[in-house]
């Protein structure tokens, strides 16, 4: 292993002791180091940082993220050896604009689940069928779902424990009886097709390993295309994360239709979704025309009653 790879291992270890997860950085920075080694360079410079950051096609926000990952590592290296250079933060400017949520219909979720039949192997089909269904009925993040271990799933009491969340907090999610049944059937099939997996993960690959985040996104694109889902606009494209958005919006829609007072329940939804700030939950809801129409109607009725 090269000195830069050794230093990267130390860098990630130190940063994680401070509470940072650095999941994407752990994937990107080895690629950057491999790039330097192919060029025969042992130092991080502004020039080779810019060359690597702008190498792939992608959005300005993605280039900015790559630059941010390298700058963190370069700052660490510079403290050890001033010969390493830290690129300016505005070298690859880009603002990460939030995409417009793609809110799935029941038919579209069903189409995604049906599209798993194109995947190779019964276990892979069952794993992605279960993953999409689980995201749809719990609103979990993709990373939370693939990090689920056997001990996190209590099928007897119908509860999932979500650990090591985005903000370092754990939470429990109650499950509907139909979800419990689906998970039980999946685990039975999984154990039959892969009796000796190499991981304690609930959702596994045909090789018996935990699912990898980037592979999940790649597979979802295959399912999306096979299901015939198309972008609704340049900023509204069907993403796997939007299954979570859809769950949040549907939950509030059901509350409105049931005639309950929604406002006091929104903090409960924020907690269920694992949001630290309620404003993050409001963002999920602000992009739903049907929800905004119902809210506007409620407001008009309230104003009419008060006049």
Choose, from 166, 184, 185, 192, the residue flagged as catalytic.
166
84 included as an active-site residue: no
Q: What pLDDT is stored for residue 5 in this prediction? A: 92
User: With respect to CATH, is domain 100-307 assigned 1.10.443.10?
Assistant: yes
275 included as an active-site residue: yes
Q: What pLDDT is stored for residue 296 in this prediction? A: 56
Q: Who has greater pLDDT, 7 or 165?
A: 7
Q: What pLDDT is stored for residue 223 in this prediction? A: 98
d(C-alpha 203, C-alpha 210), whole Å: 7
d(C-alpha 258, C-alpha 206), whole Å: 43
The pTM of the full predicted model, rounded to 2 decimals, is 0.69
Q: What are phi and psi of 174, to 5 degrees?
A: -70, 145
CB 203 within 8 A of CB 219: no
d(C-alpha 104, C-alpha 190), whole Å: 28
Cα radius of gyration (the chain): 22
The ranges assigned to domains in the chain are 3-91, 100-307
Place of tokens 């829609």: 253
Per-residue pLDDT of 16-57, as tens digits, reads 777 677 878 888 999 999 999 999 999 999 999 999 988 876
What percentage of the chain carries pLDDT values higher than 90?
58
CB 148 within 8 A of CB 247: no
Lowest-confidence segment of 20-29, 108-117, 224-233 by average pLDDT? 20-29
Per-residue pLDDT of 73-92, as tens digits, reads 999 999 999 999 999 988 77
| Beta-carbon contacts of residue 191 (< 8 Å; ≥ 6 apart) | none
284 included as an active-site residue: yes
Choose, from 21, 163, 171, 241, the residue flagged as catalytic.
241
Band of pLDDT at residue 138, cut at 50, 70 and 90: very high
Choose, from 63, 84, 224, 244, the residue flagged as catalytic.
244
* Residues 124, 209, 65: CA angle, nearest 5 degrees: 95
Strands 171-174 and 153-154: what pairing? unpaired
Residue ranges in the chain assigned as alpha helix (H)? 3-17, 23-38, 46-53, 60-80, 106-115, 122-138, 142-146, 177-193, 213-226, 242-257, 266-273, 278-286, 289-306
Q: What pLDDT is stored for residue 258 in this prediction? A: 85
Residue 266, CA atoms < 13 Å, CB-side half-sphere:
16
Q: What pLDDT is stored for residue 283 in this prediction? A: 65
d(C-alpha 124, C-alpha 115), whole Å: 12
Helix axes 289-306, 242-257, angle to 10 degrees: 30
Per-residue pLDDT of 152-200, as tens digits, reads 999 999 999 998 666 667 889 999 999 999 999 999 999 999 999 999 9
244 included as an active-site residue: yes
Q: How far is CA 103 from CA 35, 100, 176, 240, 275, in A?
A: 39, 9, 22, 11, 19
CB 146 within 8 A of CB 201: yes
Choose, from 141, 210, 224, 245, the residue flagged as catalytic.
141
């Amino acid at each position: 292993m090269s000195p830069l790879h050794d230093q990267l291992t130390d860098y990630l270890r130190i940063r994680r002791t401070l509470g940072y997860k650095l999941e994407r950085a752990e994937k990107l920075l080895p690629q950057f180091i491999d790039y330097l080694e192919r060029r025969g360079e042992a130092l991080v410079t502004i020039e080779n940082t810019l060359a690597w950051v702008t190498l792939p096609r992608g959005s300005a926000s993605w280039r900015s993220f790559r630059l941010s990952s390298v700058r963190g590592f370069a700052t660490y290296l510079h403290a050890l050896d001033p010969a390493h250079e830290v690129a300016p933060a505005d070298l690859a400017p880009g603002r990460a604009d939030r995409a417009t949520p793609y809110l799935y219909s029941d038919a579209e979720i069903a189409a995604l689940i049906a599209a798993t039949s194109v995947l190779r192997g019964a276990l892979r089909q069952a794993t992605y069928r279960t993953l999409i269904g689980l995201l749809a009925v719990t609103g979990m993040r993709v990373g939370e779902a693939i990090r689920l271990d056997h001990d996190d799933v209590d099928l007897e009491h119908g509860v999932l424990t979500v650990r090591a969340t985005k903000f370092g907090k754990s939470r429990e999610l109650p499950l509907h009886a139909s979800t419990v049944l689906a998970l039980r059937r999946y685990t039975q099939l999984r154990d039959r097709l892969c009796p000796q997996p190499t991981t304690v993960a609930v959702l596994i690959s045909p090789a018996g390993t935990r699912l990898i985040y980037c592979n999940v996104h790649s597979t979802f694109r295959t399912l999306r295309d096979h299901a015939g889902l198309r972008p609704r606009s340049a900023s509204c494209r069907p993403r796997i994360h939007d299954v979570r958005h859809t769950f949040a919006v549907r939950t509030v829609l059901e509350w409105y239709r049931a005639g309950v007072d929604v406002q006091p329940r929104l903090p409960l939804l924020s907690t269920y979704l694992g949001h630290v700030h309620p404003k993050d939950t409001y963002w999920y809801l602000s992009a739903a025309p049907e929800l905004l129409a119902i809210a506007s109607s409620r407001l008009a009725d309230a104003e009419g009653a008060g006049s």
